[in-house]
Structures are given as C-alpha cells and as structure tokens.
Amino acid sequence: MKFKYYFGAFFVFVVVVGLYIYSLSGMDYTYHIPFTQRFVTLPIALWFLVPVVLFFIVVLFLQVGGMYRMWYKRNKYKNDYKMILDQIENQLLGREVPLKQPSMNRYKALSILLNNLIFDVKEGITQKSGEARLDELIEVLGDLKRGEYVNLKKFNPGNNSPFFKQNTLNQIKSDPKFASEVLKKSSFSDEYKQEALRVLLANDDLSEIKRFIASVKFDKELANQVLGMCYAKRLEFSNEDIASLCAEVGFLKQDYLLLAQKTKECYEPTSWLNLFEYLANKDEVAEMAYFYVLLELEMIDEAKERLSMHTPNEFLKVRAYLELKSMGKKYPLELFLLD
C-alpha cells in the first residue's frame, strides 16, 4: 500500500471516529501521570484516539521495516546476480582475478560450481539471453573463433586469455603489414613470429622473408615450409643456412631422408651431393641421408669408402644393400633406407 493512501485513510478514520465519540460525549477526562504531580486533561474523544494513533505508528514502523527488508534482499539479489555475470565474463576471458563469493547461499554454491568449469563459446548462431554485455561478448568471441580479427578493448581480456592470443593470430593472418610489424618487435612471442613468417611465405614476400628470417625461432613445420621455397627456387639458402635450420629444429634421421627425397628433383647432382655431405659432416644424424644420396647417384665406391669410417655394426641396411648389389640383385633403395 502506498503511504499517501495509508495516511489518507488513517486521517479520515481518526476524524470520523473522533467526531462520532465527541457527539456522544463532549466531556473532558483528566489523567494523572504516574510518579509525577502533573495532570493531562483532554476531551474523552481524544483519549479514545490515542490507542488508534499508537497502533498507526506501530503499523507504520512494521511497514517501513518490511519495505527495508525487501529492499535489502532485492539489493543482495541484484549484487549477487551481477557478481555471477562478472565471474562468467572473467572466466570466459581468462582474467586472473580473485573469486568474490556472493552473500546468498544459492548464488555462493553456483559461484563455486562455475569456478570449477572452463568456459568456451559454441560455434553457430547463439541465442540472446537478454544480458546485453555478455550477449555482445559471446557474439564477438564467436566471430573471433571463425578467424575474424575483432576489437576486444571494451572487454579488456587478460594477456593470458586464449581469446587474446587467438585474436592476435587472426590479426597477423588478415594483415600482412601487421605480420611484418610483429617480426620487427622483440616483444612478440615465438608463436606470433612463426605465424607472421607463415603469412609472408604465403604472400611470397621474399624481401621481407629474407629480412626477418633470422629473428624467428623455427619449428619443423615452418622449417619445411621455408625449405619448400628453396626447392622451388624462390628462396636461396646456402648449405650452411640449411644445416643451421635443420639443427635448430632438431631434424631426425627420417627428416633428413625426406629432405633428401624432396631435394632430389630440384638440385643438380653435384649441388645435391655437396649439400648432404655438408649436412652429414655437421650432424651425424644426417649420415643415412648422405648414404641415400651417394647410392641414388650410383657412387658405390664413395659409399663404401664412407662406410669404412664406421664400425661394422653400423648402417647394416646400407651394407646389406651394397652386398646385394654386388651380387647383381636389384632392389629399390627406399626399401632399405626409408622407414
């Protein structure tokens, strides 16, 4: 009930009751205040209205107290609900912030449950919840997961957020100029620099590739991409450059053998031989690949001479191939050397 109606009804009630009682008796009544020498004289009608007024005051206090309790509970509900929404946003963006537990028990339990989960955004069209900020965030993150570069400044994700990382990678992929900027700056991690170099490789930006290639820490996949440009004669690498690149990414025996196969068609025999002799001298893991090149070029004597530098229990497959070949048997070289 609104207070103006409550006060209005009370005023009408008091006036009507007071006038009615006064019409019955207009006499006065004197009341002696206990423990004092004072007396209060009022019309009988007013004495009848005193309990009514006291009752009104009590009811008024109860009404105000009830409204305050409702306001306080509603405020707790709003604050706890907002706290849950903030927690969802923080977890979704990977922000490392202390967990603030709501005051209401149900929301407190929900907060703990949510804190034990990892959030992600589903692909496809999302339903609107009515919470504008979270709906916008989910839509933005959905675009991000589809490979688009989006503006995340409004939501201020943490630097360790997977979405922040993915957004930076999306920007690199969509903007070759930004990819060059990434390669220029030492503040970007190796993963960003590797992706930036992949963009330059895809765009055949040879001048930029040569300019920044020394600043990138390679992995095998990226090394094979760069070596692929060497095979295609789009990028020139010295034997020393190739050896350094293979050593940096930790080429294994099989990697060197595959490299020998791929370079077979695009190198002159002499250059091919010199490359793998250099690689074998720099890295003993490349020795099998060097034998592959020697045997593929039918340089049997050179292969035997190189084999004599090793103990009898080493390179048994090469020895078996040479022995069968000396007996006039012909088998594919790959059968012996490639796993």
In this structure, is residue 16 part of a structural domain? yes
Interatomic CA distance for residues 84 and 81, integer angstroms: 5
Q: Are 285 and 256 in contact (CB under 8 A)?
A: yes
**What is the tens place of the pLDDT at every residue in 201-238?**
888 777 777 788 778 888 888 888 888 777 666 677 78
| Final residue before a domain boundary, out of 56, 78, 93 | 93
Comparing 174 with 237, which gets the higher pLDDT? 174
**pLDDT at residue 285 above 80?**
yes
Q: What percentage of residues in the chain have a pLDDT greater than 90?
A: 15
Counted domains in the chain = 2
In this structure, is residue 150 part of a structural domain? no
Question: pTM score, two decimals?
Answer: 0.64
Q: What is the pLDDT of residue 212?
A: 80
In this structure, is residue 173 part of a structural domain? no
Q: Identity (one letter) of the amino acid at 165?
A: K
Comparing 79 with 1, which gets the higher pLDDT? 79
| Final residue before a domain boundary, out of 93, 115, 146 | 93
Q: What is the pLDDT of residue 338?
A: 65
Q: What is the mean pLDDT of the chain?
A: 84
Q: Sorting pLDDT into bands at 50, 70 and 90, what band is 118?
A: confident
In this structure, is residue 137 part of a structural domain? no
**pLDDT at residue 1 above 60?**
no
Interatomic CA distance for residues 121 and 240, integer angstroms: 47
Q: What is the pLDDT of residue 267?
A: 83
**What is the tens place of the pLDDT at every residue in 239-264?**
898 898 899 889 999 999 988 888 88
Q: Sorting pLDDT into bands at 50, 70 and 90, what band is 279?
A: very high
Domain span at 32: 3-93
Comparing 288 with 68, which gets the higher pLDDT? 288
Q: What is the pLDDT of residue 64?
A: 78
In this structure, is residue 107 part of a structural domain? no
| Final residue before a domain boundary, out of 61, 93, 125 | 93
In this structure, is residue 229 part of a structural domain? no
Longest dimension (CA), the chain: 147
**pLDDT at residue 19 above 60?**
yes
Categorise residue 51: left if φ over 0, alpha if ψ from -120 to 50, beta otherwise: alpha
In this structure, is residue 311 part of a structural domain? yes
DSSP assignments along 140-174, one per residue: HHHHHHTT-----TTT---TT-HHHHHHHHHHHHH
Q: Sorting pLDDT into bands at 50, 70 and 90, what band is 70?
A: confident
Q: What is the pLDDT of residue 153?
A: 86
**pLDDT at residue 282 above 90?**
yes
Q: What is the pLDDT of residue 74?
A: 86
In this structure, is residue 114 part of a structural domain? no
Interatomic CA distance for residues 219 and 69, integer angstroms: 64
**pLDDT at residue 52 above 60?**
yes
